[in-house]
Every structure is written in structure tokens, then in C-alpha cells.
Amino acid sequence: MHSGRFYTLPEFVLWTRRVIYALTALAIVPTVLYQYFHWHWLAMPWVPIALVGTAAAFIAGFKNNATYARAWEARQIYGGIVNASRAWGIMVKDHVRHADAAAATAVHRELIYRHIGWLTALRFQLREAREWEHMKTEANYREYRQRYSVPEWETKLEDEMAPYLPVEEMNYIMGKKNRATQIIATQSRRLRELHEAGMIETLCYVEMEAQLREFYDGQGKCERIKGFPYPRQFASINRYFIRMFVFMVPFGMLKEFEKLSHEAVWLTIPFSVLVSWVFTSLEQIGSSTENPFEGSPNDVPITAISRTIEIDLRDMLDEKDLPAPIQPVNKILM
């Protein structure tokens, strides 16, 4: 998530510079042919171009709507995890009771730490690369990535999870297919044991189980957004329509500038680059918002949010050495 006011124009131009090169080439070729080689038949009427432009604009707008909705839904889901986690905190502390305060505290700590372990497993799973994502395959994203770092790509899950789970449990979990799922299953087994041991009343036990179901809900919703991309059929026609359009733009402009004067035709170059850039940028902005868990600068900041949850939960346990909140790097908060 960009946590400042705006991406600066240089950042923006830098990010799209490869496209700008291509658009410039696309504009120079027909203009030169028109001016030096007098291929005047290259000038095209504007009407068909405007039609393709309309369709391209429509589909790009549609994509922006949809990808914005994906990002916002992702943020809502993770926000739901925050709320449910705080609720988990008070349920653990006040539903799990024991005459011996130390015994109670130990169990509270265990259940809350395991929850942080789940958050850790979840964020590592969500930041794994998928084929349709951009971060690892596209040059401009790879380049931009040097300005910040994705914590889940720099550390190992085992190391991050170790402080929160007992060793034998770590081993058991690391052997499972979907680790986050099985950590919740372990919480459930522990609740059962505590219920059987009489540390949780039945009614409270049922409520806490319901809370675990809510975590499954949050996790599953994240996985849905992660695993179901913006439909590739829409993404594909979007790309083809935009490309078709920017390819046609300089041919159409030739005639418009010719109407002014023969010299003005040279203005075709800057103006078709500019207009085309607006349309390709519209499309690229949509693409860069498509996948809110791909490690891009526009990601939902799940590392930072998980840290916030950790701080709040451990603050509930009245711990003193709380970790610091995650800070943005070059305005990018992960």
C-alpha cells in the first residue's frame, strides 16, 4: 500500500517507461513515412478509431472497477481478521478460566501465540507467487521492487513461526498441506481438551469454536481472492483492445494535424504518445491492482496488519516487550 499522498510523476513515468518507448516508436514510424516518404494513404479517418477507443475505454474502466473492488474486498477481509482476532483475545482471557492464575495465564498465552502463528502461516501462503501475477515476471515490477522489500520473501516461515508454536507442533504443522488450516484445527483440539478439563463452560466452548470458524472464513476468503484471478478472458480482450487502439491512434492523428498545416503533422508524435499513454496507463493501473497479495506496492499491507494484531493481543496479555509497528519503506507499507 502506498501510504503517502501521490506517486510522483517521475516514479510513474519510470514505471511505464518501457511502454513509452514502444508508443514513441509506434508514433514515429507512420509520421516519418508520411512526411518523408509521402505515404499519404496512411492517414486514417478518425471514426473507426474512436469506436475502438470507446470499447477499449469501456473495458478498461470495467477492469478498474473490478480490480478496485478486489483490493477493497481483500482489505475488508483482512480487517475482519483484525476484529475477530481481538475478539479471540478477550474470549481466551475471559472464557478460559482456572482457579490457579498461573495455569490460566499459561493457557491464555498458548492460545494467543498459536493464533499469531496462524497469522504468520497465512501471510506466507498469501504471498506465494502465482502464474498470473506480475511481481516476478514483469520487468517494471521487478525493478520497482528494489525500492521496498516483501518480508515474506526475505525470511523463512519456520523462523517466523518458531516463537509462537511448541517445537513438536511446528513439526506436525510443517508436514501438512495447508498449514494455516491445520493450525486452526489444532486450536480446536486444544479447546476440546480444555472443555473436557472443565476450563471452559460448554456455552463458551461453542462460542470459541464459532470464532475458529470465523477464522476459517477469513482465511478462505483471502485464498479465494488469491486463487481466482481477475478473469483472464476479460484481461485478455482488455489488452488486445488497448493495443489495437494505440496502434491506430497515430494513423488517425496524421489527418487531424494535416488539417492545421503540413509542419504540424510532426506534432502527431508527441500527441499520439500522450493520448496512447493515457490509455495504456489506465490499463496498467488496473493490472497493478488486480492481485492484492502479490507483493506489489499496491498490496493490502498484510504484514503490517498482522503485526498490529500481534501488538494488540500481546498488549492484552500485559506483555511489556511489544514489537514495533511495521513502517513503510519509501512510502510503501507491506
Residues 41-70 that bind its own copies (CB under 8 A): 41, 43-48, 51-55, 57-59, 61-62, 64-66, 68
DSSP codes joined into one string, 152-193 = HHHS-HHHHHGGGS-HHHHHHHHTSSSHHHHHHHHHHHHHHH
The least CB distance from residue 316 to its own copies, in Å, is 5
- Residue 107 CB, nearest distance to its own copies (Å)? 15
Distance CA 112, CA 49 (A): 60
Closest distance to its own copies from the beta carbon of 188 (Å): 4
**Shorter beta-carbon distance to its own copies: residue 161 or 204:** 204
Residues 117 to 146 in contact with its own copies, rule: CB under 8 A = 131-132, 137
Nearer to its own copies, 161 or 313 (CB): 313
**Candidate residues 147, 158, 163, 220; the one interacting with its own copies per rule CB under 8 A:** 220
Cβ distance to its own copies smaller for residue 48 or 166:
48
304's CB contacts (< 8 A; 6+ apart) are 325, 326, 333, 334
Within residues 73-92, the interface with its own copies by CB under 8 A covers 75-76, 79-80, 82-83, 86-87, 89-91
Q: Residues 269, 277: contact at Cβ < 8 Å?
A: no
Using an 8 Å Cβ cutoff, are 246 and 26 in contact? yes
Say how far apart CA 238 and CA 241 lie, in whole Å: 5
Pick from 81, 326, 91: nearest CA to 214: 81
Q: How big is the site for its own copies, counted in residues (CB under 8 A)? A: 120
| Closest approach of its own copies to the CB of residue 78, in Å | 8
Instruction: Rule CB under 8 A: choose which of 167, 168, 233, 321 binds its own copies.
Output: 233
The minimum distance between CB 238 and its own copies, in angstroms, equals: 10
Minimum CB separation of residue 159 from its own copies in Å reads 24
In the range 189-208, which residues lie near its own copies by CB under 8 A?
A: 189, 191-192, 196, 201-204, 206-207
Give, in degrees to the nearest 5, the angle at Cα 312 between 332 and 117.
80
Nearer to its own copies (CB atom), residue 155 or residue 319: 319
Q: How far is the CB of 46 from its own copies (least distance, A)?
A: 6
Q: How far is the CB of 14 from its own copies (least distance, A)?
A: 13
Site for its own copies in 154-193 (CB under 8 A): 176-178, 181-182, 184-185, 188-189, 191-192
Candidates 147, 315, 319, 329; binder of its own copies (CB under 8 A) is 315
Site for its own copies in 15-44 (CB under 8 A): 41, 43-44
Decide whether 165 or 269 has the Cβ nearer to its own copies: 269
Closest to its own copies by CB, 160 or 209: 209
Largest separation between any pair of C-alpha atoms in the chain: 95
- DSSP single-letter state for residue 41: G
Whole-angstrom distance, CA of residue 100 vs CA of residue 112? 19
The answer to whether 86 and 119 are in contact (CB under 8 A) is no
- The CA–CA distances, whole Å, from 108 to 92, 169, 197 equal 6, 17, 15
Are 180 and 118 within 8 A, CB to CB?
yes
Cα–Cα distance, 3 to 16 (Å, whole number): 21
> What is the CB-side half-sphere exposure of residue 213 using CA atoms within 13 A?
6
For residues 270-299, which are near its own copies according to CB under 8 A? 271-272, 274-275, 278-279, 281-282, 285, 288-289, 298
The beta-strand segments (E) located in 239-301 are none
